[in-house]
Amino acid sequence: MLLFSVLDCASYKTDSGRKLIWSDEFNGKGLPDSSKWNYDVGGGGFGNEEAQYYTKDRPENARIENGNLVIEARKEAWDKNKYTSARLLTKGKFSFQYGTIEVRAKLPKGRGTWPAIWMMSENMKKWPDDGELDIMEHVGFNPGYIHASVHTKKYNHIKGTQKTDTLIVNDASERYHVYKADWTPEKIEVYIDDKKFFTYENEEKTNEAWPFNRPYYIILNLAIGGFWGGKEGIDDSIFPQKYYIDYVRVYQNK
């Protein structure tokens, strides 16, 4: 685990020499751009015992506002669930193989919240065999602890073998930070505001350990509860909670 002191995001500099191949700056207003984003819809926990119902095309849960994508979790009954939220994904609209993804975001807070920035295989047939890359996960009962992980057939949390690390960002729910992953055929490196804290290398050269040789799509979501996010319960007094995403940018590797 690395301890990350507060860093002014204004000091974060992007490399102007990189080629931007996809982005959403979340300008304008209304619903998210349907040419770029799909939704996962439903309740039932999504395999993680989560408590929310993910809605579609509902501005109360996902909207463009003041230059941000706002994903809002609300305490409200919806189809046998006690909460609503949203999960947006680029599956079927954009995927990429190798490159750099940057997401500038301010996280929700409070016990029971579980926001994430992550990626999965465009042609996912079986989890975790086809891989998962978690660029940012934050569980509200442990504020400021930002986690990055990979899940593969050989290394995953079901077996207790997942590859993961943590960086403490004390103001993650008060200020915007840039969450970044650099992905090459040799390794995946994850950063917060240019501070690298997680590396996963392609050492074994097998599909069981490295399924990251195929196109992946992007997922942004705010879960409530679940086997991890709800480990210490859900504080109903915190709602509504908002997850602000300023932009998502994907660059081609040099």
In the chain, domain spans: 2-10+18-28+88-252
pTM for the model stands at 0.93
Domain at 2-10+18-28+88-252: CATH code: 2.60.120.200
Strands (E), the chain: 2-4, 19-24, 38-40, 52-54, 62-65, 68-78, 81-85, 87-89, 99-106, 113-121, 132-137, 145-151, 163-169, 177-183, 187-192, 195-201, 216-224, 241-252
The catalytic residues are 132, 137
Per-residue pLDDT of the chain (254 residues; tens, 9 = 90+): 334 333 333 333 445 578 999 999 999 999 999 999 999 999 988 889 999 999 999 999 999 999 999 999 999 999 999 999 999 999 999 999 999 999 999 999 999 999 999 999 999 999 999 999 999 999 999 999 999 999 999 999 999 999 999 999 999 999 999 999 999 999 999 999 999 999 999 999 999 999 999 999 999 999 999 999 999 999 999 999 999 999 999 999 86
218, 221, 165, 175: which is closest to 195 by C-alpha? 165
